[in-house]
Structure formats: C-alpha cells, structure tokens
Structure 1
Amino acid sequence: MRISHEAIYQALFIQGRGALEREMTACLRTGRALRKPRQRRRSKPQGHVTADTLIAQRPQEASDRSVVGHWEGDLIIGTGRSAVATLVERVSRMTILVHLPRTEREDLHQEPGRVRSRPSGYSADAVATALEEALSHLPLEMRKTITWDRGGQMAAHAALTAATGTKIYFADPHSPWQRPSNENTNGLLRQYFPKGTDLSRWSAQDLQAVAHTLNDRPRKILGWKNPNEVFNHHLHSLQHTRVATTA
C-alpha cells in the first residue's frame, strides 16, 4: 500500500486540530505550526525573459548535474528593501552569498514636499553589478550558467552575461522546485537571517563567514563530503588539465 506525503501531513495536522503539536513543531527547521497555503498569483508580463533564456533551453549537463559550473540563484529579502543574493552550484552545493548594500539616491536640490527616491540595493543594475564581482573570481568553466526565478531583479541579465560569459536561464513561473538546491539553502540561511530583519545589518565579511559555515557542512547527498571539498576537487582538476594542455 502506498501512502502519499499529503496523507501523512493531513493525519498530523488533524491530530492537532489544524496545527502541529508543540513537540512536533520543535523538530521543524522553520518552527511553523500551521501550514502555509500557496497563493496563486497572476503572471505579469516579463520582457526580460526571452525565448532563449527559458529553462527548457538550459544545457542538459546543467539539468542532470553531470558537469560542475552551473548555478542556481535568488534573493532573500529583509525589511527596508534590504537583500542578500544567494548562489548555489548544482553539483557541489557550494554557496556564495553576495552583499547588496542598500543605497539611497537623493536629489541635493530636492523640492519641498517631493518624495525622495526609494532605496535601490537590489535593483536590476545593482544585482547585476554585485553578481559580476562575485563571479569574476571564478574561472569561466566554473561559472557557465545561472538559473534564476523570473523576478525583475535579473532584468539586466544581458549585461551580466556580456561581462562574465555566464548565461542566465529563467525557471517557469511559480516553480521553485526547478531551483531546488537554492531553495533548500535559502531555508538554511533563515536560521542566520530570520524573516523580518534588516539584512543590511550584516557586512560582506559576515556573509562570507556564514557561507563558509554552510560550505564546511558535510552533506549526505555528497557522500558526507562538504561543498568546499567537492568544489575544490573540480577546481583543482580543471587547473591540472590546463597545465597538462599547455605543457
């Protein structure tokens, strides 16, 4: 007999009259007692998502995780328009956290009563610039593609690709399961950056320390190796191949 995961969820929540009992909630990473229903939203026109950037066009080697260098990306959002960009490599689960300092553009000659410009820490241009800097430290072979959601924060993807050679692909609407490693990592990161907090409180050095902690964490899916070990193994193999080719 097969029992679906939904049947198990329903049984647990019925016992608690619609909410998990306290001892069960304590075992959850989120600590959430109530189920959070998915809200169906209307898809908005997204001019930055073109036919050649759809996830269906992504190389097969990225989809089946057979080759290193393909990433998933997203933003985690805090209060006051603060944000952190997250990148997760699909083979090694290596995580890069990208600092997005919140900035405000104000007119020095602002007219009385005029509303000043909104903060632009995760505008499309700001995100593209920050990701370009983060990716520039990697060899081209280790930054082939990034799969992102359809948010407007990646509207400047053409400029990012031109600067880095990294091709951007967009997941289907409302399909977070197409970026599973990134979604899982964002859940882990909420232990360090709880929802409802101002993410600008953390410096770039703070983010590096958190990423280092995650990348040193052994993973069952990696045969109990950690992302650092797996990623660096592929990096050293690439460097060795380059030396052998030029010798």
Structure 2
Amino acid sequence: MRTSWLLLGMAVSSWAATETVRLRRLPRLAEVAADLDTTVDPPGEATSPPCTLALLGDSLVSGVGVESARHALPSQLGLRVASLLDARVRVWVNARTGARAADVARTQVPALRDADAPVDAVIVSVGANDATHLTRPTTYTSALREAVVGAREATGAAVVLCGVPDFRGFRALSPPLRRTVHGYGTLLHHLQAGVAAQADAWFVPRDPAVCREFALDRDLMALDRFHASSTGVARLADVAAPVIAEAVTEHRDSTAAAS
C-alpha cells in the first residue's frame, strides 16, 4: 500500500511539474492598465446626471488579452452603462494582474478614498486567480467580504460583484487541470453569491449561454488561451452592464429618498 501511494505521489508531482513548465511557455500578454481610466458619453444627448464607476480586480479589469484600452472591460462597461442610463459615465480603475481577493481587500479598496469624484458603484471582479491557486474557501470568503464592506465604507456606493468565470474555455489548461479549476471556480462562484447576499451587494452570475460560447468559440479567448480576447470581454460586459446600471439607479433612488 505504501508503495502504491508513493508511486501515485510521484506521478502527481511529475504531472504538476510538466504542467508548470508548459504554462510558463505560453505567451505572456501585456496589460493596458495605464490608459484604462476613461469618460464615456451616451449615444445621444445625456438626460441623466453623470455617474462614476470604480473598477477593482485582476487581469480581466487591467486589460490583459485585449487589443487596446477601448476594448478593455472598463471602457466596454462604460459604453454600455452610459447607453443604459443615458448619462455620461466616468470609469476609475485600480486593478492588478494576478490579484486575488485578499489583494483587492488590502491594497485596492483603500485606494478608493483617493478617487477625485463621488462613486456611484464599485465593481469588483476577482476570483480567477483564487481558483487557479486553490485559495481556501474560508480565506476567500473572508477576503471578499472584507473587500465588499471596505468598498462600501470608503465610498458609500453600491457594490457589484462579478462572478468567477467558467473555466471550460481556458484551453491553456490541460483537460484534467481545466476540470479541476472549473470545479473549484464553481465553488467560489457560489461563495461569491453568498457574500453578496449577506453583505447587501449586487451580484453578476455566470450567464449559461455566454459560458457555452466561451467553451465552443476559440475567438473569445486571447492568444495565451487563458485571458478573454476583445470579443470575449465584450460578451462579459454585455452580461454585467445591466446589473451595474440597475445598481446605480437603485442606489441613487435610495440616496434621494433618504435625503
């Protein structure tokens, strides 16, 4: 029996080492974080007051995999929210490639106090790196709750959590590893929904149709097969923008009613 466990352990270690080498050989894509802050006007004349969105998170927010800043998630969300609210939208970004929930809570949320305009909604997109690193569920939940509560305390704004992506389209990962990360990401997705409910935050769940698109359409992924392409980011923005617009509207209504 001991020999069997030893052989199994050697096999797993060998597989993990092979996967690590293979992943390190994948192309490293640059981010466009330096140009992500933007202001977007609605298609026609604005009929609603301008609003400010603050985006926190990982490489999905910092623009890895897209062609330019205008294709990145902050700009794509700004365009859609401006159209939905019929208002000018300013987007303020503080994100870092590789960030996990703990990084958002400890380094990105405190920076919200430096925003030079009142924030209407804080959008937090983090969890993919926690899934690939198998962050302990209790650690992830605690850090995410700290981020949500901290963001609200820093800004008084609505907080929107974006669900962990569906990893079935992440072809950079071998099928066994992809299944493992997908399963763990699904667990974190459920934990996110729980944190959002408990902390009175908005939640953007996975859209089943978009998940299928990512699993089947290679064009939705960037050259490294790990990050979303410009087309993929646009699809994710399609899902998140209506929730963000609704959060902004309800936050403004409740603020007006309270005053």
Higher CA-based Rg: 1
TM-score normalized with structure 2 length: 0.26
* Between structures 1 and 2, the one with greater helix share: 2
